[in-house]
């Protein structure tokens, strides 16, 4: 990865993904959709006091070096640009991780932990007294620990809230309510599931909404992408109420709630932990751990948030 000189000319630098090259070789390559982003741009460089006048206010922004094209979608396009017909917009909605509720709180280490087996969850013993577990104490399930082996048995989940994070817009989000999201996770480590432990998009829909589920898609990097909609017959996306505890300061839109199921390779052995992870101590317990991100992207406005999570396995 590198930067391209953008001091004078407008540059278009494009590369094809493996799938794109395959379709080009087959003679059926067509550009159907595209997205643009401005991850490299620092708009704070806009200088209204430039001595040469208004034509130079944005010169540094225009001449900012741009990222060289690369095909790893997990490392680019964090800030997608959108086209809006209304030019009188003062604020745009954002998405924020909600950790203000007991069931959505992060662990004391400052991250959501995903316990990958019975021992780590604490579900291997009925009554926990002097025996320590990552996921449970004698008082019950530990805050910030998600059950990755049996998600349906755990109280914890991850929640992202959407809306105007500005008290100047206290109500009426209207057309700025996000109703569709893309969730991305490293498929080697886990899958996204609903409260019942069912992987998103794999349910058997019935009734008038039977065609609304979208099956998860796996890209060439092994990243699994789930598209979820507010019209899907599940409770992954619901509306935020004004009375809900939320980090969104202004008008509230929707919230997306989900759990994570650990992959079998993490549950059944330590090979991935040895290759990709590290050893750490959590609540005085020796554990293997792997850090990764879950990415949430709003389809309508392109806002993206990366949520850090840690898969953990008790090796004590």
Distance CA 234, CA 109 (A): 31
CB atoms within 10 A of CB 220: 11
Mean per-residue pLDDT, 150-167? 93
Which of 159-163, 201-205, 227-231, 302-306 bottoms out in mean pLDDT, i.e. has the lowest? 201-205
Distance CA 201, CA 181 (A): 13
Q: What is the pLDDT of residues 111-140, one digit of tens each?
A: 999 999 999 999 887 776 666 889 988 888
* Confidence check: pLDDT of 44 > 60: yes
Measure Cα distances from 93 to 172, 242, 255, 301 in Å.
Answer: 12, 16, 13, 8
- The full set of domain ranges for the chain reads 3-75, 94-314
- Considering the chain, what is the average pLDDT of its residues? 85
What pLDDT is stored for residue 165 in this prediction?
Answer: 92
- If one compares 262 and 234, the residue with the highest pLDDT of the two is 262
Measure Cα distances from 22 to 13, 26, 224, 264, 306 in Å.
Answer: 20, 6, 20, 31, 30
Confidence of residue 1 (pLDDT cuts 50, 70, 90): very low
Mean per-residue pLDDT, 211-220? 73
Answer for the pair 174, 91: CB distance below 8 angstroms, yes or no.
no
Query: To the nearest 5 percent, what fractions of the chain are helix, strand and coil?
Result: 15, 30, 55
Q: What angle do CA 219, 257, 34 make, to 5 degrees?
A: 35
Q: In this structure, what token pair is assigned to residue 22?
A: 């395959």
What pLDDT is stored for residue 163 in this prediction?
Answer: 94
């Amino acid at each position: 990865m590198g930067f391209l000189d953008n001091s004078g000319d407008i540059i278009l630098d494009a590369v094809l993904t493996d799938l794109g090259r395959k379709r080009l070789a087959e003679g059926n390559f067509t550009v159907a959709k595209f997205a643009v982003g401005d991850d490299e741009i620092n708009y704070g460089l806009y200088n209204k006091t430039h001595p040469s006048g208004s034509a130079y206010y944005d010169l540094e922004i225009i001449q900012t070096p741009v990222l060289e094209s690369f095909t790893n979608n997990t490392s680019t396009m964090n800030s997608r640009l959108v086209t809006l017909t209304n030019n009188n917009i003062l604020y745009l909605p954002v998405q924020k991780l909600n950790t203000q509720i007991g069931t959505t709180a992060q662990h004391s280490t400052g991250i959501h932990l995903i316990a990958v087996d019975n021992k780590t969850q604490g579900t291997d013993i009925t009554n926990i007294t002097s025996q320590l577990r990552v996921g449970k104490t004698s008082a019950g399930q530990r805050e910030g620990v998600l059950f990755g082996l049996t998600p349906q048995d755990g109280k914890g989940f991850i929640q992202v809230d959407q809306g105007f994070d500005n008290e100047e817009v206290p109500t009426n989000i209207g057309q700025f309510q996000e109703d569709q999201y893309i969730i991305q996770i490293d498929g080697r480590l886990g899958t996204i599931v609903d409260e019942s432990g069912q992987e998103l998009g794999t349910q058997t829909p019935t009734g008038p909404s039977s065609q609304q589920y979208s099956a998860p898609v796996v890209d060439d990097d092994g990243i699994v992408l789930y598209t979820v909609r507010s019209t899907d017959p599940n409770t992954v996306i619901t509306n935020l109420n004004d009375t809900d505890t939320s980090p969104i300061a202004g008008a509230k839109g929707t919230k997306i709630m989900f759990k994570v199921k650990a992959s079998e390779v993490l549950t059944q052995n330590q090979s991935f932990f040895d290759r990709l992870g590290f050893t750490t101590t959590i609540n005085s317990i020796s554990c293997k751990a792997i850090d990764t991100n879950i990415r949430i992207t709003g389809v309508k406005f392109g806002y993206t948030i990366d949520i850090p999570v840690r898969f953990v396995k008790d090796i004590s």
